[in-house]
Amino acid sequence: MKQLIYLFLLSALITCKEPTNSGNPRVVIETKYGEIEVELYADKAPATTAAFLSYVDSGFYENTSFYRVLNVNNQPSNAPKTEILQGGLWRTKNEKARSITGIPHESTGKTGVKHKDGVISVARLAPGTAGSEFFICIDDQPGLDEGGENVEDKLGYAAFGKVIKGMNIVRKIYMQNDRNQYLDPPVAIYNVKRK
């Protein structure tokens, strides 16, 4: 009987699997400090995900950087605080970044994807102007959601995925030296590729 129980438990252990894949695409951000794996929520933010993947597939993020960091120490004392790490084409391929057509705005109210720790979102000025620049949230950032205090127009930013591996790398980059909100020096993104 003991052997039967042992075999049953062993069989159960062998057949245990990680949770099934959601079917959403994943990308790997290859950096100077290691890899960051991100699941993109194509099911919740299809326009933003499709645009981001088109930039990935076109090689736009090759030899770019994480260049901006917002932390509690580098923002005006009277401003609502935000903690993010921003990357993209702006520092290394500025003309390319400016030539990208804006992505239709998918608010957090529409998608349900909130700016929680590790969530990836697109930077923008006005709604519909988001392009190649993205940021990753450090801790929860509800002020970036629709209706949040960190966005003047109250429409929030378009969150479209989440870091599923390598958040330690994100935090390491986030902790690098900055000067007036810009990493000094920027941290290399060697490439972003589909997984």
Higher pLDDT, 67 or 19: 67
pLDDT digits (tens, 9 = 90+) for 141-184: 999 999 999 999 999 999 999 999 999 999 999 999 999 999 99
Is residue 166 a contact partner of residue 34, using CB atoms and an 8 Å limit? yes
Give the torsion sign (CA, 184, 165, 46, 84): negative
Say whether 109 sits in a helix, a strand or coil. Answer: helix
pLDDT score for 21:
62
Answer whether 0.85 is exceeded by the pTM.
yes
In the chain, where the domains are located: 22-194
In this structure, are strands 26-31 and 84-88 parallel, antiparallel, or unpaired? unpaired
For the domain covering 22-194, report its CATH number. 2.40.100.10
pLDDT digits (tens, 9 = 90+) for 8-62: 333 333 333 333 467 999 999 999 999 999 999 999 999 999 999 999 999 999 9
Rounded Cα–Cα distance for residues 142 and 123 (Å): 15
H helices present in the chain, as ranges: 2-15, 46-57, 94-99, 108-111, 167-174
The pLDDT-based confidence of 76 (bands split at 50, 70, 90) is confident
Rounded Cα–Cα distance for residues 195 and 192 (Å): 9
DSSP collapsed to 3 states, 136-179: EECCCCHHHCCCCCCCCCCCCCEEEEEEEECHHHHHHHHCCCEE
pLDDT score for 148:
96
What residue type is 193 in one-letter code? K
| Angle value at C-alpha 115, between 101 and 109, nearest 5 degrees | 70
